[in-house]
Amino acid sequence: MQTTSQDTAAQASRRRTFAVIAHPDAGKSTLTEALALHAHVITEAGAVHGKAGRKATVSDWMEMEKDRGISIASSALQFEYAPAGHEGEPYVINLVDTPGHSDFSEDTYRVLTAVDAAVMLIDGAKGLEPQTLKLFRVCKARGLPIVTVINKWDRPGKAPLELMDEIVAEIGLQPTPLFWPVGEAGDFKGLVRLDDEGTIDEYIHFIRTAGGSTIAPEEHFTPEQAASEEPEAFAVAAEETELLAMDGAVHDQELFLECTTSPVIFASAMLNFGVHQILDTLCTLAPAPGPRTADEAVVAAATTAIDEERAVTGEFSGVVFKVQAGMDKNHRDSLAFMRIVSGEFDRGMQVTHAQSGRSFSTKYALTVFGRTRSTVETAYPGDIVGLVNAGSLAPGDTIYAGRKVQYPPMPQFAPEHFRTLRAESLGKYKQFRKALEQLAAEGVVQVLRNDARGDANPVMAAVGPMQFEVMQARMANEYNVQTVTDPVPYSVARRTDAETVPALSKQRGVEVFTRSDGELIALFGDKWRLAFIEKEHPEFTLEPLVADN
């Protein structure tokens, strides 16, 4: 039965959709497991101490991820959670774990278009690292409120006030601690909870469990009791939080939503210390789904009625932010991950693909928990739904019901690495072509072709070289095609047009290709060669391939 707009608004208000982002090895996947553990959707965390007994986290499903202990592809998890004392229906958490390695920053960027907030994880020993800084800036540019988590406080690291100064100095974001550590890095005893004025409200002492695989029990003390229980460590925490309050580092909800401030929580995801405090903070402070503005260029060019904005209570619409195949060898299909933007989604409903104008049915719709799938019958704004075998969908596409709406496209990052790809065996050419088309549609790499090289020897373009490894590994594992890559003498790419191509193709050190989406891409030997051609031929169309971030 179709719900009313009031029902949709109520369901949307329960949703909290966020991404976990950080520098590699900051503990994103471990935190993802810990959050799921505290929501009681798993009984034991996947990360276990000791190399011999180490498990892969549920959000890491690719063999390369398990072998290397890093996240390569984004993974969506959905579960319900009710903070202590919460009345009414529990919150619905849509948690998107993202690749940590900088070679996969394009995948992370796509995820950030599909969430309402971000948890930025910082290693307490390393502080703000290059990838962390980049992702902070992307979040801020996109207007995403950021909750900062200082992780690995059970290990030796920097002083907490030093980390606060780093955040202010490096990114201009004012940290406002909500849970401050008792005990220096490496001697994590617990947290003090601060009120809206920066005053200590209580002391939470954590008790370790075997291997940190289960929820850490807590003991709660008043400030007076804490001063007796942990006199030295609590006195230091009290002094530090007093200094922060005097400096104005206290939470203000409006400034948080404006991305001017960031609530801070200290934690150890490995030991499950401070984890439910993160969930509680997201439920109470992070924004629920809101309206989304349509693509201005499409609206301006429209000859028929089209929405300029779609409220969450409006007719159904969604945005595809990720296409992924090979998540389960038992299901030879691809999943288009869609963020519900507005209205109610009902499995089997007829929707329209905005980019092509074609109609199709959403008969096979799933929610995904790592590699585990379950059929979804109904979903609401903020939810992440996987559409099975929606081959016409690509990242950035809009689908809708009723009055047309089309959201802004998803920019592609400028590739910096280029290699040719070919099948080891000519007898595998058919499978090679099929795999190439599927993985190009997912955005694993950008695929460039021209007549001179032919379809059997295309050029792959990537942000980072590890993308080539993923391409080859997935071709071997999912399509049984062994491949060979060879270097090409190019390091710079530019978008061009049909008028420029004839003369540009005659230039030395340049080769022109057609990308899978139809764009004409020119590759240059180096930036100096590009600069020379731009100077000699200012009439050429040569535009940077840079994401709007």
DSSP 261-311: EEEEEE-BTTTTBSHHHHHHHHHHHSPPP--EE--HHHHHH-SS---SEE-
Task: Answer yes or no: is 408 a known binding residue.
Answer: no
For the chain, domain boundaries: 5-285, 292-400, 417-544
Task: Answer yes or no: is 99 a known binding residue.
Answer: yes
* Domain 292-400 superfamily per CATH: Translation factors (2.40.30.10)
Task: Answer yes or no: is 97 a known binding residue.
Answer: yes
* Pairwise CA distance, residues 532 & 399, whole Å: 44
Which CATH number describes the domain made up of 5-285?
Answer: 3.40.50.300
User: Pairing relation of β-strands 520-524 and 372-375?
Assistant: unpaired
The pLDDT assigned to 326 comes to: 54
* Pairwise CA distance, residues 65 & 502, whole Å: 44
Predicted model pTM = 0.81
pLDDT per residue as tens, the chain (549 positions): 456 789 999 999 999 999 988 887 888 888 988 988 888 877 676 543 333 333 444 444 445 444 444 443 446 788 899 998 898 899 999 988 776 545 456 677 788 889 999 999 999 999 988 777 777 877 887 889 999 999 999 999 999 999 999 999 988 899 999 999 999 999 999 999 999 899 999 999 999 998 888 899 999 999 999 999 999 999 999 999 999 999 999 999 999 999 999 999 999 999 999 999 999 999 999 999 999 999 999 999 988 889 999 999 999 999 998 877 655 555 556 788 899 999 999 999 999 999 999 998 898 888 766 567 788 899 999 999 989 877 778 889 999 999 999 999 876 667 889 999 999 998 888 999 988 887 887 777 889 999 999 888 999 998 878 878 888 888 888 889 999 999 999 999 999 999 999 999 999 999 999 998 889 999 999 999 999 999 999 999 999 886 433
Task: Answer yes or no: is 544 a known binding residue.
Answer: no
Q: Of 247, 280, 278, whose CA–CA distance to 264 is shortest?
A: 278
Burial string for 385-401 (b: 16+ CB within 10 Å, else e) reads bbbbebeebbbbbbbbb
Query: DSSP 3-state assignment of 25?
Result: coil
The pLDDT assigned to 105 comes to: 61
**Which CATH class, in words, describes the domain spanning 417-544?**
alpha beta
